[in-house]
Amino acid sequence: MANLNKSAEGMDCNYKKGSLPGCAPLAAAYVPIQEEDPPTYGANEALMRGTLFPGLDLPFMNSVNKTVPYSGTPLGEIMALGFVIKELNLYLDTHPDDREAFRMLGKILDLNQAARMKYVKKYGPLTLNDLEDCDTYSWLCDPWPWEYSERRGTR
């Protein structure tokens, strides 16, 4: 996708705006459609900010996260890539013809598969299917995702 174009920021219409119909039926609600091929954050920044798209990044009191736990660990990597996949999934649901976004999805799916294998080897299965590559029934190993753990993703 296109890189964030800083020079476009001051213009009347940029990646933070979208298209509205010039003439439209009354008594209807209109949200601007996000333009195709919008600028995107890198995977880690996307996870930290809660969106892949700078144009949709609208924080409360303009206060944003500066860190995200497990960043740079195998767990952090699958969370960041999984999140980009989710964002592209929702974007493509309403922009199914954006070839560039679909191409990016394919690329991220590849990266995610490799990152998952790395994680599973080190920390155990993410899904029951991953047990195929495990020697024991390690599905039950603590910690479970909701538990507080100092060492998760850093072992």
Partner 1 sequence: MFVYEKKLQYPVKIKNTNPKLAKFIISQYGGPDGELGASLRYLSQRYSMPYPELKGLLTDIGVEELNHLEMVGAIIHQLTRNLTMEQIKASGFDTYFVDHTAGVYPQFASGTPWTAATMQVKGDTITDLSEDMGAEQKARATYDNILRMSDDPDVNNVIRFLRQREVVHFQRFGEALRFTQEKLDQKNIYAINPSFDRQ
The amino acid sitting at 33 is I
- Nearest residue (CB) to partner 1, 12 versus 147: 147
Question: What track of x and - describes contact with partner 1 for positions 44 through 83 (by CB under 8 A)?
Answer: ---xxxxx-x--xxxxxx-xxx-xxxx----xx-xx--xx
Q: Closest approach of Cβ 76 to partner 1, in Å?
A: 8
* Residue 154 touching partner 1 (CB under 8 A): no
Candidate list 11, 27, 135, 136; residue touching partner 1; CB under 8 A: 27
**Residue of 30, 42, 100, 113 interacting with partner 1 (CB under 8 A):** 30
- State phi, psi for 18 to the nearest 5 degrees: -145, -175
Count of residues that interact with partner 1, criterion CB under 8 A: 58
Piece of 3-11, 35-43, 106-114, 144-152 that binds partner 1 (CB under 8 A): 144-152
d(Cα 124, Cα 134) in Å, to the nearest integer?
7
Q: Does 132 bind partner 1 (CB under 8 A)?
A: no
* Spatial contact of 34 and 50, defined as CB atoms under 8 Å apart: no
Residue 49 to residue 42: CA distance in whole angstroms: 11
Q: Which is nearer to partner 1, 7 or 94 (CB)?
A: 94
Which residues would be at the binding site for partner 1 (CB under 8 A)? 24-25, 27-34, 47-51, 53, 56-61, 63-65, 67-70, 75-76, 78-79, 82-83, 86-87, 89-91, 93-96, 124-129, 139, 144-149, 152
